[in-house]
Structure 1
């Protein structure tokens, strides 16, 4: 599969992202998608495959409930200039990234440091991977939803105390191989600026910038 433009990639990503998060099917609207999440501090996400000033001002100006997120694939400075009062841009800007997945290229993940253990399982179209410490706590994690030819990698993170040990590469290799084995031919993910280097080192490329806006206080604050 090859995406002809950013909007097409975003449409594929939002379906897989909703599946990964256990949300209902994204509701298609003239300007994009709405995804109910139902969590404190993240009630709903509005996703704009293409964003412009007029659309963002109208959407954010008419949304007054807290815990609503807006995901726009534009530079953060553009989104910051367009959002209505009451909205903010929490955290650093990110990126939508993609890679081609090729059948028959699955490889054994890099070896884990001594004592670490890898666990994988599948549930409702989502493959999960965890690296556990010798004590049984989670050192690194990630998951990928598989929707036809598209795999959306999500929630990849390594606990700060266990970074720089190759655990992130093990998680990514495991998820990519699982997606390929299930017939996916393209991978998508939303990356932080911090995670971008890991993904680029394993063959992913940036498709578009990604900025997030939040209505109400930052839940992390």
Structure 2
């Protein structure tokens, strides 16, 4: 399995509390156990190294709803390997990395009226930014697993975007990961989040296709 994909899998299962991955010749299978996301199959190769035959075989064996595929290649390619029972996100996600730097002397500034809190439990550090009225403004979490740390579930409420809150969440999470010994950050980002991550120095190492099995009735 590609080393960055492996690092992402290792951190993601800690972040989500998923079952340990079952190793397969083509990658791994992860039981997640939530409604609409029962299991996911993650292919270990990226780009042109991703094997079409393997993807077709794995996808063809899926019969139930709520099973996901994660394949690190452009959806415009992978979509041609799947039948009509798969919902495919038409926009490519991206596997990204960044070197993690030591924490600056001063903590990141929190905008006036907002409240930031972070805490760690079970190896996962979470960050919450509450709006002046107490509602959710932004959040995220990170799971260090040795030298790498996976950032996950980064979110900014629509009405609080363009205020630097996403950057504040990411910087706070990265500082926490460095303090736990991580040297490289890894994430699988959405198209909407890619601009934020790139502005913070993250680099794309592979495109990502996300597909969900939705069998026709």
TM-score bracket for the superposition, by shorter chain length: over 0.9
CA contact (8 A) 1:106 1:180 kept: no
What's the counterpart of residue 153 of structure 2? Answer: 155
* Structure 1: runs of 5+ lacking an equivalent: 1-5
What secondary structure, in the 3-state scheme, does the structure 1 residue paired with 2:73 have?
coil
Unaligned runs of 5+ residues in structure 2 are none
The answer for the alignment partner of 2:98 in structure 1 is 99
Q: Give 2:41's aligned residue.
A: 46
**Partners of 1:72 and 1:210 within 8 A in 2:** yes
Give the deviation of 1:24 after TM superposition: 1.6
Q: Secondary structure at the match of 2:113?
A: coil
Offset of residue 144 of structure 1: 0.2
Stretch deviating more after TM superposition (169-178 or 20-29): 20-29
Of residues 153-162 and 79-88 in structure 1, the stretch that sits farther from structure 2 once superposed is 79-88
Q: How many equivalent residue pairs?
A: 211
CA distance in 1, matches of 2:74, 2:28: 19
2:122 matches 1:124: yes
Post-superposition Cα deviations, 1:85-125, rounded to whole Å, max 9, x if no partner, equal: 411203632100001113x3445443222110001000100
- TM-score by structure 2 length? 0.93
Give the 3 Å change call, closer, same or farther, for CA 45–82 of structure 1 in structure 2. Answer: same
2:56 maps to: 57
1:194 Cα deviation after fit = 1.5
Asked if the contact 1:94/1:191 (under 8 Å) is kept, the reply is yes
Kept in 1: contact 2:89–2:209 (CA 8 A): no
Q: Secondary structure at the match of 2:39?
A: strand
Q: Which residue of structure 2 lines up, in the alignment, with residue 3 of structure 1?
A: none
Runs of 4+ in 1 over 6 A off after TM superposition: none
Q: Report the equivalent of 1:214.
A: 212
* Distance (Å, rounded) in 1 between the aligned partners of 2:2 and 2:116: 35
Q: Distance in 1 between matches of 2:208 and 2:59?
A: 17
Match of 1:28 in 2: 23
Name the SS for the 1:58 alignment partner.
Answer: helix
**Superposed CA offset, 1:66-86 (max 9, x none):** 000000001111110011341
| Cα contact 2:21–2:30 (8 A) shared by 1 | yes
Normalised by the size of structure 1, how large is the TM-score?
Answer: 0.91
**8 Å Cα contact 1:126/1:145 also seen in 2:** yes
SS of the aligned residue for 1:64 comes to coil
